[in-house]
Chains A and B, each alone.
Chain A
């Protein structure tokens, strides 16, 4: 009888220790996963806030242009659908591809991102990493994209791809590229998505 009790206690102890160890390891793995995801997000954020991307993710009534992100010239405005206004539509200058001989960038369906996807404040300052992450992961704001759809968007959306093929400026020099290659950007997005799309804390 006593021997059976000891065996039972030992067995329970083994189970308890094993369970605690598994929980600790799992928590550690989850922490590591989240840390990897957050690190990957910061890489994604560095691209999203580069001029090639953020110039068309404004909070204002106009797009921006140039590495100094100045207001678009020629009194261009957003319009109801982010495509300019009649007689002053985006596609009135921006064609299906870059026009390197005249320095006008182009891509399919050139337009501004919707205001729900603004990554700047009203003073044209980029939002924080946490705020952009919240916007990007909010399906009520991001056109209903879940993680895999966001990854696909970063992999193949023509205007996303344009950022790595931005063409020549009117003076013939090359526009600057985002801080990561497209392959690195997609890889970072994949890690972030597979980590559960963690967002930094804070405003």
Chain B
């Protein structure tokens, strides 16, 4: 076990966990922040996506010992960011969600895309969101919502 000081959504959090524990489980089990979802556990589905220093990161495969001082932003905190707020609003406006399980990861990836590419093409969206799976197949609405958020952010 080891103690780690984490910067989560702008707040300092201290956890005492095994160094090999994936960040996902630190968030969910230690910090009780259950918005970030466990999907596949092998970074294949994107449900666990959070931002580490702004980079969309699969928290299920990153041991907490490798996080360091990087800023962690989760679905619970992304609404405090203008791009995050616009994406969440667009998600509601376009009624994207069906079962909802993958959507926190979808939103985190969409925000990362729009921060890097404010006016994404369909190809940009397909490439960047290609690592986020949705069993309800809400992909068309996800694309609409990303475009809508992009327009709102003009």
Chain A interface residues toward B at CB < 8 A = 73-77, 79, 85-89, 91-93, 95-97, 99-104, 106, 170
* Contacting residues, chain A, for B129 (C-beta < 8 A): 87
Q: Is the CB–CB distance between A95 and B66 below 8 Å? A: yes
Determine the chain B residues whose CB is within 8 A of the CB of A75 once the complex forms: 130-131
Q: With A75-B130, A76-B131, A102-B22 in contact, do A86 and B62 touch (Cβ < 8 Å)?
A: no
| Min C-beta distance of B82 to chain A, whole Å | 17
Is A86's CB under 8 angstroms from B22's CB?
Answer: no
Q: Closest B-chain residue to A104, C-beta based?
A: B61
B61 to A99, Cβ gap below 8 A?
Answer: yes
Whether A104 contacts B43 by the Cβ 8 Å rule is yes
24 contacts between A and B (CB under 8 A): A74-B43, A85-B128, A86-B115, A86-B116, A87-B113, A87-B129, A87-B132, A88-B127, A88-B128, A89-B56, A91-B55, A92-B57, A93-B43, A93-B57, A93-B61, A93-B62, A96-B66, A99-B63, A99-B66, A101-B20, A102-B62, A103-B61, A104-B43, A104-B61
Given A74-B43, A102-B22, the answer on whether A86 and B117 have CB atoms closer than 8 Å is yes
Q: Which one of B116, B131, B132 has the greatest number of beta carbons of chain A within 10 Å?
A: B131
Among B42, B61, B130, the one with the most A-chain Cβ atoms within 10 Å of its Cβ is B61
* CB-based contact A92/B66 at 8 Å: no
Q: From known contacts A77-B127, A101-B20, infer whether A86 and B61 are also in contact, taking CB-CB under 8 Å.
A: no
Total CB contacts across the A-B interface at under 8 A: 83
Pick the 4 closest A-B CB pairs, nearest first: A101-B20, A75-B130, A86-B116, A87-B109
Interface contact A87-B62, CB-CB below 8 Å: no
- Secondary structure at the B interface, as helix, strand, loop or mixed, is mixed
A97 touches B124 (CB 8 A): no
Q: What's the nearest-Cβ distance from chain B to residue A21, in Å?
A: 65
Shortest beta-carbon distance from B44 to chain A in Å: 5
Residues in chain B near residue A77, CB distance under 8 A: 127, 130
Of residues 28 through 62 on chain B, the ones whose CB sits less than 8 Å from some CB of chain A are: 42-46, 49, 55-58, 60-62
Contact between A99 and B62, CB atoms less than 8 A apart: yes
Known: A86-B115, A92-B55, A93-B43. 5 other contacts (CB 8 A): A74-B45, A76-B131, A87-B128, A103-B42, A103-B61
CA A170 – CA B21 in complex, angstroms? 14
Contact partner of A86 (CB less than 8 A), chosen from B49, B63, B66, B128, is B128
In the assembled complex, B110 has its CB within 8 A of some CB on chain A = yes
Bound-state Cα–Cα, A100 to B63, Å = 9
A85 near B127: Cβ-Cβ < 8 Å: yes
- Contact, CB under 8 Å: A102 / B56: no
User: In the bound complex, what is the Cα–Cα distance between A76 and B46 (angstroms)?
Assistant: 12
Nearest CB in chain A to that of B43: its residue: A93
Interchain CA distance A93-B43 in the complex, whole Å: 7
Q: Are B43 and A86 in contact (CB under 8 A)?
A: no
B105 to chain A, nearest CB (A): 10
Does B112 count as interface, using CB distance less than 8 angstroms? yes
Whether A102 touches B130, Cβ cut-off 8 Å, given contacts A85-B124, A93-B57, is no
Per the bound structure, the CA–CA distance linking A27 and B109 in Å amounts to 63
- Residues on B with beta carbons closer than 8 Å to the beta carbon of A79: 127
Residues of A close to B63: CB separation below 8 A: 99, 101-102
